[in-house]
Structure formats: C-alpha cells, structure tokens
Amino acid sequence: MASVTAADEKRVLDAAPHQLWIGGEWRDASNGATLGIEDPSTEETLCTIADGTPDDAVAALDAACDVQDEWAQTPPRDRGEILRRTFELMNERADDLALLMTLEMGKPIAESKSEIVYASEFIRWFSEQAVRIDGRYSVNPNGSGRLLTMKQPIGPCLLITPWNFPTAMGTRKIGPAVAAGCTMVVKPAQQTPLSMLALAAIMKEAGLPDGVLNVITSSKASSVTEPLMDDPRLRKMSFTGSTPIGKMLMEQASKRLIKCSMELGGNAPFLVFDDADLDAAVEQGVIAKMRNIGESCVAANRFHVHESVADEFAARLTEKLAAMKVARGTEDGSQVGPLIDGKQRDKVAELVDDAVGKGAKVMTGGERVGDKGYFYAPTVLSDISPDAELLREEIFGPVAPVATFSTEDEAIAAANSTEFGLVAYVFTRDIKRAFRVTEALDVGMLGLNRGLVSNAAAPFGGIKESGFGKEGGPEGIEEYLSTKYVAVDL
C-alpha cells in the first residue's frame, strides 16, 4: 500500500458504517446515544457510532430468531457460496479494511493487512466446511435396529469479541456459525467496532440474508449481553476475551445452560533448549513476542532459555527489538504501534517496574515513548526474579522477560506453573526431547520450532483457565452444531 494520507483516513472513516446492524437495517440506538471511537496513537476521537441499548440488543435477537428456521433450511452450498464471496470481497478491499483497523486499534498497517488475510481465511475455510456437515449410520450392536446421528444448527448465537484482533476474532465465530446454519448477534469490543461493522456490510453485499448476522455496539457491554443471556431463545454463546469476564459469563450461562465456547487469556512460555537452532529461536521469538504489539493471547509472555545460551539469546533478541520502529501504524515502516489505551500502557509499565524492582536488568526499552498516544518501547529484561509478576500475569505488551533454566524438568515445571494453558513454544533440535516436552506441557496448542501457530485449518483453543472449545479446523464448526441421535426400529 502507498503511504497513507489524511484524505485516505477520512475516506475510509466516512465509508465505514456507524450504526447498529439489525435485521438488515442500519439503525441509530433507540435512545439516540452515541459512543466515541479513539485513535490510540493520537488520543483523538476518530468518529462516533451508535451506543446500543438493551432494547436494541433484544431487537437484534428478535431479528436473528425470525430467520433462524429459514436460514437452517438454506442449502449448505448456498451458505458456503455466501462465505466464499465474503472471502473474496475482504481480500479485494483489504487495503481499506486494514487502514480502518489501524485507525481504531493502532497496529501497523502491514499487520492489519495480515489480519484481514488471516480473518478471511476462516471465512474461506468454513465456506468449504458448510458442505461437509454429516452424521453417522450404524447397526445396533445387538442387530435389532439402526442408530442414526444427525448434526443440526444449534440456533441463535451471541458472539462477543475483543479489541486486539477486531476482525479475525469475529470471523472465527461468524464463519462456522454461518456455515452451520445459525443466526447470530455479534457484540464487538467498544474500542474497535468499526472493523466488525464494515464486515457486516461486506457480508450483506456477499448475499447474506437480512437478520442472519446482527451487530450491536455499546459502551456498556453487560447491558446488551445480559438480556440476551437471559433469553430462552439464545442457544449458544461464544466469547473471546479475558478470563475474569469469561468466568462471569459462564455464571450467567449456567442459569439457562447455554452452550459456551471460551477463548480466554494466555501466558505462553517460550522454551529455548541448549540444542536449539538459535537463529530460528530468535527470529521466531520476535514474531511470537512482537506480533500485534504483544497484544495477543498467544504472545510469548515469558522466555525460558537454557543457562548456557541465555546471554546470547537475550543479546540477539535485544538487538532485534531495539531496532524496531515505534510509530503510528499508518506511518511508513511502522513496526510497533501504540497500546490500546492508557490503562493497558500503565499496566505494562507497572509490570516492568515490578520486575526491575525485583532485580531485572533492562537490556532495551523499559519506558513509554512520546507524549501523545499509548506507545511503549520494545523491551527486553534479563535476570528475572522468579517472583516477578510478569511471569504470572498476561503482559499484553511489547515486553520480553528472559529467565533461565538448567534442566529439562525445570523448564517444564516453569512452563506449566500458570493457571493458563493456551499455547507454548518449544525450540529444540532433539526429536526425542521435542516429543517428551510436547507431551508434558499443559496447553491446547504448541509451536514446535515455530513462533506462530494460528491457522484457519487447525483447532485453536486452550485448556485450564484459557478456556475451552475450538475455533478453526474441522472442530470449529462442531461448536455451532448439536447432535441428534435417532434410534430406528426396523
């Protein structure tokens, strides 16, 4: 993409929808309220959008319920073709969608573009899965009859998404829900709703019938989600966000036993053994740490490096991170944008200060950048004390603590000493060790000599307090299907 101009920014902001998307209509909030969207790199308001009310949320669920039966009866091939067309439109418009995302979320434009491609891959994958929903036929073990199972759409869904990947966290849910024949209400994060509204417009253009997808934006998340969680027509809730909010939503879901998928927080260990290819470990470590400014649930949260290579690893990681360009995401060559808001920036600073107070050495960074915007310098810390908070807490920022270990058992124990279990990264050239360690780590995903695991064709998801349920892969659509068993007497 050529350099971004102020005119480009105005054009994409003017073109982006700013209202609620309910039953195929763009609507203002029922009480006329609006909500400002901030550019985290300038702290200025980009635009205002509709601030949805509980009544608006119920209207969105009404719209979803009205078309649920008809949508479930729509031929799977037709559902798949709508997704396929969505995939194509997303890629045709990738530059504008990426700019819109950068403006509201802050990440460098190249990363926003990667996210649009990644997000569209879920749409493509599930366009292909729509026609692969099947059941089973078997003979009763006693021979007296037949056992049939059939998969049916679970019904209207509530999909709640975070701000860090404004489009991809949506398409991982919308793709399989559409493919399965479910209708839905989407509640994007209040800081980054524009990307989701733009996606809704694209899906309309791609032929998605009115009411199948509805989008409610709001400054008071619980005020629009609670009435839906209490509504007996809602059959499924899929949430991506923090573990505390996920737990609270689980409590709400328990009242009506709503089926849940929970994609929650992480605290990924990145293990580097003494036999690792250090070039690869450093290169992939930069990706695992710095993708999305470190604001990723699968970000390497802590590096555990064998003591014999730790100094070299830390020095080489420092060289790479110190050379990264920190700038507004629209600027040419920007590699590190601002954090999402002042609260997140302050949390990152506090975690660094805590570690330094407990003896950590700042190899690079360790400070905020500039007066405007929520920028924080790429940071490498060595000599990490085992009681430093950032080993336990999700940092969600561009900070890489490098701790050391002596033995394989010690590395495994350190990696597993967290309530989270989303992903781990392991760097070793010893095939036996690779399998030993892979089997011993309590995680839902693992990058073996790779710093990036996300892939639409693979089941993404965690264990322990990182949640449950899978997004992507053949497993992803199962979250939106219910299995009916039919006993047949012949």
Smallest gap from Cβ 219 to ligand NAP, in A, equals 7
Q: Which is nearer to ligand NAP, 258 or 363 (CB)?
A: 258
Return residues touching ligand NAP (CB under 6 A): 160-165, 169, 187, 189-191, 221-222, 225, 240-242, 245, 248-249, 263-266, 297, 394, 422, 462, 466-467
Q: Which is nearer to ligand NAP, 67 or 216 (CB)?
A: 216
CA angle 298-282-434, nearest 5°? 70
Alpha helices in 16-75 (DSSP H): 54-73
Helix (H, G, I), strand (E, B), or coil: what is residue 391?
A: helix
What CA–CA distance (Å, rounded) separates 391 from 302? 6
Smallest gap from Cβ 473 to ligand NAP, in A, equals 13
Q: Which is nearer to ligand NAP, 80 or 162 (CB)?
A: 162
Active centre residues (catalytic): 263, 297
In degrees rounded to 5, what are phi and psi of residue 250?
A: -60, -40
Under 8 Å between Cβ of 56 and 224: yes
- Residue 32, Cβ density class (10 Å: 0-12 exposed, 13-18 middle, ≥19 buried): exposed
Q: Which is nearer to ligand NAP, 264 or 282 (CB)?
A: 264
- Residue 59: other Cβ atoms inside 10 A: 21
Smallest gap from Cβ 421 to ligand NAP, in A, equals 10
Tokens of 242: 């923090």
Under 8 Å between Cβ of 343 and 42: no
Q: Which is nearer to ligand NAP, 161 or 183 (CB)?
A: 161
Smallest gap from Cβ 261 to ligand NAP, in A, equals 10
Q: Minimal CB distance to ligand NAP: which residue?
A: 241
Smallest gap from Cβ 347 to ligand NAP, in A, equals 11
What CA–CA distance (Å, rounded) separates 61 from 55? 10
Packing angle between helix 168-180 and helix 194-205, nearest 10 degrees? Answer: 30
Q: Which is nearer to ligand NAP, 408 or 471 (CB)?
A: 471
CA angle 85-91-92, nearest 5°? 85
Angstrom distances, CA of residue 109 to CA of 44, 100, 336, 425, 441? 18, 9, 10, 26, 35
Smallest gap from Cβ 423 to ligand NAP, in A, equals 9
